[in-house]
Structure formats: C-alpha cells, structure tokens
Chains A and B, each alone.
Chain A
Amino acid sequence: MAIPSTREITQLLIAWNNGDAAALEQLAPLVQAELHRLAKRYMAGERRGHILQTTALVNEAFLRLIDWQKVEWQNRSHFFGLAAQIMRRILVDFARARRREKRGGDAPLVSLSEAAGVAHGQNADLVALDDALQALEKLDRRQARVVELRFFAGLSLEETAEALKVSLSTVRRDWSLAEAWLYRELSKSLMRDK
C-alpha cells in the first residue's frame, strides 16, 4: 500500500468532515498504521493507565498525518474531535476483535502483552465502555462527546470546552457526571460478566 501524503490525509479528513462517509473508510486504516508504529515506540514499558501516553500518542499520530499548516487554527480543536472519533473506532474495533478471538477458545494467546504489562481484561472493558458511551449519547450527546474528546483524543478540559464551544464549567460538570455514570454502568456490566 502506497503511503498517502499528509496532504491527501488532510483532504480525506476534510472530506469526511464535510459528510463524505467513504472518506472515513480510507482514513481509519491509515491512522491505525501510524498508531501502531507510534504505539510500539511509546507504550512498551510505560506506566499503564497513565493518561499522557494515550494523549501523546494521539497527538503525535495526527500531528504526523495531518498538515496543520493547511488547517485554520480555530478548526484544530474541531479536528481533534474528528480524531477522537477515529481513535474510538479503531480502538474499540480492535478490542472487540481481540475479545472474539479469546472467546473462540482455540486462538492461542500470541501477543506478548505480558511484556507490556497489559491485562487482557482491558479489551472487554473497552467494549463495555463503548457500549455505555453509546447509551450515554442517547441521554446527553454533549456529555458523551466530552468523554470522547478527553479520552480518545486526549484533550484537556479547556481544549474540550473550546472544541465544543461551551464554557469550562459546563465541561467540568458534564465530565463529572459522565464519568460517574460510566463508572457505575461498567461496574454493573462487570458484575454481569462474572
């Protein structure tokens, strides 16, 4: 596969933003490839659960892929919003596939995830998180977006506020409630699984 230029990727992102659903199909594997490459560099040995990793990873993946000179600065937060959706999709698809693999039974645990210090439970959790997030979208779309931006694009509270064009205190409130709700829902789903 020929590696597309940053200009092409930027164009795809703009096209997708303008409503071209097919553009996302082209974008996702490109971003995923870049993500893999970067993830390999950053994740191994890093402290698990540390926010910085994911954030740095996402930031850099997109910094590399997208020609920011071509993007107006005020749109940048907006693009991170798109990035968050791509990230969410990639990670959840991956987690879902891995979960299927394990439930399949005969698939050997080929990954060296022990070396990276990763618990296998994470995959199930992320799928559950995605389900919960979808449920939250139905109750309050903005709260779900806050979670998405914060954790799949690594935006700070301030950046999230800017991306959603709402006040910082609103983001704080949304965030507090959404996190509590997700935590509760996930605790429930965990009980069900066991």
Chain B
Amino acid sequence: MNPDRWRQIGQLYHTVLELESAARAAFLDATCGDDDELRREVESLLHAHEQADGFIAGKVAGVVAEMAAQQRNTSFVGRSLGHYQTLSLIGAGGMGEVYLAEDTRLGRKVALKLLPAAFTQDRERVRRFKQEARAASSLNHPNILTIHEIGEASAAEGGAHYIVSEFVEGATLRSMTQSGRLDIGKATVIAEQVAGALSVAHGAGIVHRDIKPENVMVRPDGLVKVLDFGLAKLTETPAPPADTEASTNMSTAPGMVMGTVSYMSPEQARGQKVDHRADIFSLGVVLYEMLAGRRPFEGETMSDVIAALLTAEPPPLRQYRAEATAELEQVVGKCLAKAREARYQSAAELIVELKTIPPGIQMIEATTSRVEVTMPRPVSWRWLPIAATALLLVVLLVWLISWRRSPAAQPDQIKLTSQEQARMANARPINQKAYDDYLRGRFYANRQKKADNETAIMMLERSVALDPNFAAAHAELAQAYVWRFFLFTPGEKQWEEKAFVEVEKALALDKDSAVAHQALGRLLWTPANHFPHEKAIKEYRRALALDPSLGEAQNQLALVYNHIGAFDQALQELQNAVTANPTNNLAQFRIGETLLFQGKYEQALTALRKSPREVNPPLVGSTMAMALLHLGRRDEAAAIIGEFLKDYPGDTDVGLFTSIQALIAALDGRENKSEDKIRSAMERGKGFGHFHHTAYNIACAYAVMKKAEEAIRWLQAAADDGFPCYPLFENDPFLDHLRKDPRFIALMAKLKEQWERYRATL
C-alpha cells in the first residue's frame, strides 16, 4: 500500500462512517465498483473501528505497570526492621510498599508499610500524620485498620519510616472493581461499612481525604477495612488562604497526588480547605464505580477529569446499570453534589439511606402499564388504604425522617423498597383497635425490664385476639415471650412454648416476617438447645436481609458473635446499629461488652458509662464490674455489685453477681470466702437464664487462686454451655496462671480450632 491509496481508503472510510448503517452497502457498491480490495479495506477498517475503542491505552498502561513491577526486585523482602522481619511484598501504592512481615516478639503476622523518603522529610508533617493515624486507629472501629506501631528504622537500617498494622487477608476494592461491576447489594454493604468507619472518624474530627478503592480492603468474610487514615497529611499541600483565588493551576501544583484525582472532591481539586464532606464525595465516587463499572468523572487527561468533576454532572447510573432505581441514583447523586452543603451532611445520614436500598432490585420499566398491575409503584403514603403493613411502614419512615437531619424531606419523597412494595400489595384491611394495641405492645416489647415486658405481652395478646390473622402482632408477641422466658422467668417453660406457637403463626401468615425470624433466632439459642450459634446467626441474618433496619436483630447477632469470639463482626454490627439508630441503647451497651472481651478495659468502661443502666441493669452492672476488676478497681466493682444485690434481691441474675463476688474475693486473697461465694453462685441460679457467664467467672476465680484443675473444669463447662469464646480465654489476664498447664493448652487448641471454623464459615 502507498500513501495515495491510503488517502483514498481513508476518505471513503470517513464518508461511510457518517452514513446510516443501512445505507452503507449500497454506497460501497456504487463507489468501489470492481475494486474489491478497496471495499475489503474499508469494510475491515469499519469493523475494527467498532471494536477498537480504548485498546491502545490498555497496552501502554500495561507495559508501564510491568516496568514498575520489575523495579521491585530490589525490594525489602527478608530484611529486618526493628523487631519485624519482612516476608514478602504484598502490594505497592502511591504511599509506599507494603510487606507481609512477622512481629518476632509476638510471633504474629503484620502488614508493614514503608513510607517513601520523599514524604517523610518534613518532621512536622510526619508528626501530624502520626497523630492522626494513631487517633483513627484508637477509635477501635472494626472497619478501620488497626495500627500497631508507627516506627522509624535506625540509621543502620536505612532510617525509613514505617507503619505496622494488622494484617488483613483479602482484596482491595480496586482489584474487585477490576473484575467488573459489583452486585448492588454487595456494593451498598461495602459503602455502608466505609461510611461507618468515616462516621466515627469524622466524629473524632478526622477527615480521611483520600478515600479510593485502593484504600478499602474487603476480607473474604465481607468485613471492610479502611486503610491509611492520616496518610494524606503527608502529601497534602497547605490550603491557600481563604481570600485568594481558589482555582489554582492544578497541573503544576507541586506534590499533587495525581493518581487520586478521580476520587477528589471539587473543593480538594480547587485546593480549598476540606472537611468531612469531602470524604462523602469520594465515597460517592467509589460507590458509583462499584455500581457502574466506571468512574463518574472520566477524561483522557488529568485536567479533563478535574474539569469534569468541577462542572459536569455524572452520567445517570442506569446508563450503565439498568436495574439502578431512582433511590439509588438519588443516594449516589447526593454524595456527588458539587456543593458540599448539598451532600449528605454526615456519613451516618448516608448509612441510613444506603440501608433503604434493597440488595437485588428487579428492573422496573417505567413505560408499560402492565408493570403497574404486577408491581405497585412507590406511592405517597397519603393515598394508601388503611392497611396494617402500610401503617407499620409509616411509623418506621416517620421515625427515620425525624432524626435524619434534612428538614426538607417530605413524605412524598419517600421511596419504598421492593420488599415493602411487595408487602403493600398484600395489604389487607385491619382491625384498628388491634393495630393500636400492636403499636403500643411493640413499643414495650424490646425494653428489657420485667414490667415493660408484661405490658407488651398484655397488649400484643389483646391485639392477636382481636385480629387473629395479624402476622406482625404474632411476631412481636413471639419476641415478647422470648424475652419473658429468657430474661425474666427462665424457670417457667410455658413461655418458651408460647413463643414457638406465635413464631409459627407469624411465619404461616407472612413467611417474610423479619421480626418472626428474629424471634426464632433467639428462641433457638437457648441453654436447653445448647446455644446453636450458627443456626441463630442464620435466622438473624435472614431477619436483617428482610429488614435491614431491625436494630434488635443486629443486637442479637452481635450477642452471638461475642459468644463465639467474633469480635470484629460484633463491633461492625453494633456500630451499624448505633449509627442507624443512636437511641439503640442495647447496642451501645454491647459495644462496651465487646471491648471488655477484647481486653480494652478503659475503652470498655467509657463505652459502658455512656450506655444508660436502665437498658438492663444487671447486664450493664455486671459488665462494668468486670471492666473495673480488670483495671484493678476492686472497690468500685464491689460497690456496684453490692448495690445491685440490695436493689434486686430476688433477681435471676443474683448467681452471676455472686460469681463476680467470688472473683473479687479470690483477687483479695480470701480463698475461703471465694469458695463460699462460688458455692452460693452455683445454688442461686443462672444469670440471664443461663449459666455460662457464671461458669466463666468461677473459672476465673479458681484460676486466680491457682486451682488449675477446677478452673479448667469450669472453663470447659462455660465453653460446652455455649460460651466457647476462644480469644477471650486466650487473652484474659485472670486466666494467666493456667497458661502453662497442658490441660489448658489442650482445651485452648480445641477451642481455637472451633473458633477458626466459625470464622471461616461466618
């Protein structure tokens, strides 16, 4: 081929390209005549044109990446830094290389990130970074990566700065999005967890500033960890004074981290001062990318991207994701508002909205009237017939709105999930009186006091008597019975039977009753049933899948998690519960309990002090007493116990409190008294309707008294009786005297195995 021929081909190519495809063949027939080669050339180019989009870019980028990767041969693997020995390179990003390393002092695997020297020259910046990274890590949020140490190698070792953190097995969100779009459910759950991490960080005055898929790890069990809090402190350029023209020339700004331009908020791109709402924008970009498989603001050059994010509206999600609903568009769009005042004003607000998005949404075609028949459209509540489920929804939604700070939210903006829509379709007329009783009963059903429980049972029994087909009331009644026998009258078997009957009625009337599944979870999880943790988890998850806002199911799920030592999962559930509903006092309390089990005694105490005692006085009291004991504050612990025994002399929890008294006596060195209390604890009943916590406290008392055989026996009993809390046993200082005992070692090996099995299946 020669240039002239090529010009001829080119001209024809452009002309044909502008024709409708139907007209092309005729045009080519007419133009090419007998010149078959010309025609073949043009046609093959047109065919290539259709497929070529973006392919060259991929090749260039791929080679650049490989070139970068090759450089890493001169890496740090096998070297030691302080008491860390690097084992392998697990990643490299804008802020340095990350190694899998072993902490040789504690024998644990950690992740060690080496910071590039370029970012650690300025001592002041390093100081600010350290301060913020530590502050974020100390928030102890399950979705925030825990930092163990921020260190500096000796001059002999090269003087590098490094960060040692927990080693998270999993994939970065980047690698997940590389293999395609994520399910809507998966994407929203990930976003929710990131928002959870942001929410607590923002609460502590920490802005991440660099939220992007590289900084989000997802473990195989789905738990999300947000990395690199504070790291932006090392790279950011100081914001210009407020009165200067903010739109600085980005392309020449020194120190700009260009790789993250795509996730920047407009205010960051302008070099303005940022606040927590910048993170909400960046999370919006990440969420959009997870759903659409592309970023909301794209461009071929960095300046194109910046221009787009400053001025352009992102293409609607549905363009890339047919099943994206209006509410999903709305949530993502609100995160991506240019003006930060128009975004969600807090990560907590975003979480609430994300929770309303159902995981799998069927495609709704807006145009056909046929669809209207089979699937009710979202409607304003005012137009609904009075129907049980509808009213239930209104209560829920009004509650949601009442604390969602946006005063602009109008009832007719409310969108219903498909689940809710489906239920509305099944709406039936109800008895107004029965409904009224149901609402009142429901209010009392989850308050963990005996008098409230009795009121709830009375109201709900009346409700189902008036309307025997009222599924929701049956479910709530089941839950109220569950509490009755579990918390208040464990000796009276009839409550358990009644609860089963009500669960069955509720599920027969509505197999998707979230509350019924929640009640069933609790009903299964009993001493008589040997606490089947997995079964209970399954029911609670089912309940939460049906109704993600069911705070009580979250509390229950976390409770089970705590018993099997899945503390991260527990904290995640609880933080979500508290974020979604700040008045969920039981969740608030359980955060304290989890921290206690994790050995974070000071923090546990702080958390427990925040949770109102009236949630469940014995529960809060005993947990607080244990935290105080661990802190060596025996007098205060003893005072709490004494007070409780005085206030509630006949309570079922006396046994538990007595076991704590046994532990206190053991710590005081008063062995006889301790033995007395142990005997009394055994006689005086089973705290909270079961015995394993009492058994555990007795084991601790014996361990403190160095009576290994008894201690191990009681520990075994606690584990067998539904409390196989391996990480607690492993770390509780009260058990330290047992640690060299072969029987203890054998028990722990068994429990560890079980714990790992739980972890693998959770």
Contacts and interface: CB of A to CB of B under 8 A. Distances in A.
Interface of A: 35-36, 39-57, 59-60, 63, 68, 91, 94-95, 98, 110-113, 115-120, 122-123, 125-126, 129, 138-140, 147, 150-152, 154-157, 159, 173, 176-177, 179-184, 186-187
B94 A180 contact: no
Main secondary structure of the interface of A (DSSP, over half): helix
Contact of B64 (A39, A63, A139, A176): A39
A182 B52 contact: yes
B300 A126 contact: no
Nearest to A90: B67
Contacts of A116: 65-66, 68-69, 92
A75 B259 CA distance: 26
Given A45-B172, A49-B58, A179-B52, A117 B178 contact: yes
9 contacts: A36-B71, A39-B65, A49-B58, A60-B256, A98-B66, A116-B65, A116-B69, A122-B62, A154-B300
Given A123-B63, A138-B3, A180-B48, A56 B302 contact: yes
Contact of B6 (A52, A55, A139, A154): A139
Given A139-B1, A140-B6, A44 B300 contact: no
A33 B590 CA distance: 54
Contacts of B172: 45
B301 A44 contact: no
A51 B61 contact: yes
Contacts of A155: 301
Given A39-B65, A54-B60, A184 B300 contact: no
A113 B116 CA distance: 20
B70 A49 contact: no
Contacts of A154: 300-301
A173 B92 contact: no
Interface stretch (B10-18, B140-148, B450-458, B644-652): B10-18
B261 interface: yes
A51 B294 CA distance: 12
Interface in B244-259: 251-252, 256, 258-259
Interface residues of B, number: 66
Nearest to A94: B67
A6 to B, nearest CB: 12
Interface in B36-86: 44-49, 51-52, 54-73
A94 B65 CA distance: 11
B7 A140 contact: yes
Contacts of B65: 39, 43-44, 46, 48, 53, 113, 116-118
B299 interface: yes
Contact of B54 (A41, A51, A57, A122): A51
Given A42-B259, A155-B301, A36 B68 contact: yes
Nearest to A114: B69
A47 B94 CA distance: 13
The 7 tightest CB contacts between A and B, nearest first, are: A49-B58, A122-B62, A39-B68, A183-B52, A56-B258, A44-B92, A180-B49
Contacts of B303: 156
A151 B72 CA distance: 25
A118 B69 contact: yes
Contact of B72 (A63, A112, A182): A112
Nearest to A143: B10
A152 B300 CA distance: 12
B54 A46 contact: no
B275 interface: no
A94 B63 contact: yes
A60 B68 contact: no
B302 A52 contact: yes
A60 B258 contact: yes
Counting chain A CB atoms within 10 Å of each CB, the highest count among B3, B14, B48, B54 belongs to B48
B67 A35 contact: yes
B177 interface: yes
B214 interface: yes
Nearest to B72: A112
A43 B68 contact: yes
B305 interface: yes
A40 B305 contact: no
A44 B68 contact: yes
Given A42-B94, A126-B59, 4 more contacts: A48-B178, A54-B57, A56-B258, A115-B89
Given A44-B91, A180-B46, A184-B45, A110 B66 contact: no
Contact of A176 (B17, B55, B57, B305): B17
A36 to B, nearest CB: 5
Nearest to B253: A63
B375 to A, nearest CB: 36
Contact of B302 (A49, A55, A126): A55
Contacts of B69: 43-44, 111-113, 115-116, 118
Contacts of A119: 62
B57 A151 contact: yes
A139 B59 contact: no
Contacts of A45: 91-93, 172, 174-175, 214
A59 B251 contact: yes
